Amino acid sequence: MMLLKARGLLVRLMSIALICMGFAQVSSGGMVATTYLIEGEARAASLARVEVLLASEEVARQLATLGVDQELLAQRLQGLSDAEILALEGRLDEQIAGGGALGVIGAVFLVLLILELVGVTDVFKAI
């Protein structure tokens, strides 16, 4: 009798184990290229920069006078491809008033500093 109970318990346990094997999840792994990750991060950064530029007060006011809805604009930005976002970002950078002034000031300072260190000029006498 004891043998029959143990046998029944074993059969039930094996049946449950076989049924549960059908529910096992299968996953596959593979290498992820670095360029794939970098492109995703670059897209997110470019998209964030474009959104910040378009959300600025002056640009938002101009878009409102043209009748552009901010929600529709956000939806359309999400639908752009990577190349389109980069092109838009480049055009927006060109349109910013005084956007290159900081670079010019930095370059002039660097040239003056190098000329001072070489001894050609005496611009920074107090240093």
Provide the pLDDT for residue 119: 76
- Give domain limits for the chain: 33-95
Please, are residues 54 and 63 in contact by the beta-carbon 8 Å criterion? yes
End-to-end CA distance of the chain: 102
**In order along the chain (127 residues), what is the average pLDDT of each group of 10 residues?**
86 85 73 79 85 80 81 82 82 65 74 76 66
Prediction pTM value: 0.46
- In three state form, how does the secondary structure of 49-82 look? HHHHHHHCHHHHHHHHHCCCCHHHHHHHHHCCCH
Provide the pLDDT for residue 114: 76
